[in-house]
Structure 1
Amino acid sequence: MREPAGQHDLRGLSGRGPRRGAREGDEGTTALELAFVAPALLLLVFTTVQVGLWFHGRNVALQAAREGVSQLRVIDDAAQAAGERPRVEDRVLRYASTLGGESLLEPRVASSWVVEADGNARVSVTVTGRVVSLVPGLALTTTQQAFGEVERFERAEL
């Protein structure tokens, strides 16, 4: 039977009649599904962000160690290296603090300049720090090390 013009069946819109596609007893299932899915999605998001923060802190420590190695490699004398190492370590510490900002906390630097048995001098710089954490009580640290051989500058023969 056809309804008169201007009159429509509004039972489905008023909330009193059954919804289209809804089965009897399905009320509240969306909220229940969201209660299970939302924590899993939040955990996935926070884990992704935490992994990204850890990788960033790790990269900052590695780049700071490389910077220190590049500064120590040009020192060709053990006595001069002993005097320069504290200054280089201080510059690496400032570099890591500046570049890392809040992602690499409490950076520490250690370096070495040693002459190997073959007569070549090698340098290494180690940067260790705490990575910022989204989870209270979770202590993530990173230690990165860079090595290099001391450059030898020789006079070119003419």
Structure 2
Amino acid sequence: MSTSRICLSMKREGRLTRKMQRRAPPPRMTRLATPAELPRIEVIHELPDDARHCHDDGPALKVIGEAVSEELHVVPARIEVIRHVRREYACPTCEEGAKVAPAPAKLLPKSNASAMLLAYIATAKYQDALPLYHQSQLFARHGAEIPRNTLARWMVQAGERITH
């Protein structure tokens, strides 16, 4: 006797329990819509020039609509070096009293870390739970070799500056 016949006879007799009954298949997953607040970059895909004519009678084809699809795209982190050039001025006749443009304020004096970099490191460490050794590897992959002990020192110094 086949399994389906056994189940059918058990169902008629009332011996088929809920556990034994066939479960409905799980609902299919639907694709999530792309968030409306994200910026859009529109890329127009056109037919090649030789394909824009009717192959039967030759007139140029007209646009009758668009097939639009969206995909999420990420722009990876980019590390840049900001060069602060402070101009020096002096009197051309007496050559005394040279003046230098003031340096911008820094969160960590005598450090080459910008406030933005420190904020990025702190957010990744404390908000995203990304350890400093992983961050060091990420920075190295982007071309900036920053040892994790330097990252740790920056976090300690930034914390001291913020709390005092």
**Which one has more relative contact order, counting CA pairs under 8 Å at least 6 apart?**
1
More helix by share: 1
Query: If each structure's strand is expressed as a fraction of its own residues, which one has the higher value?
Result: 1
Q: Which has the larger radius of gyration?
A: 2
Instruction: Name the TM tier (shorter chain).
Output: under 0.3
- Relative to the length of structure 1, the TM-score reads 0.26
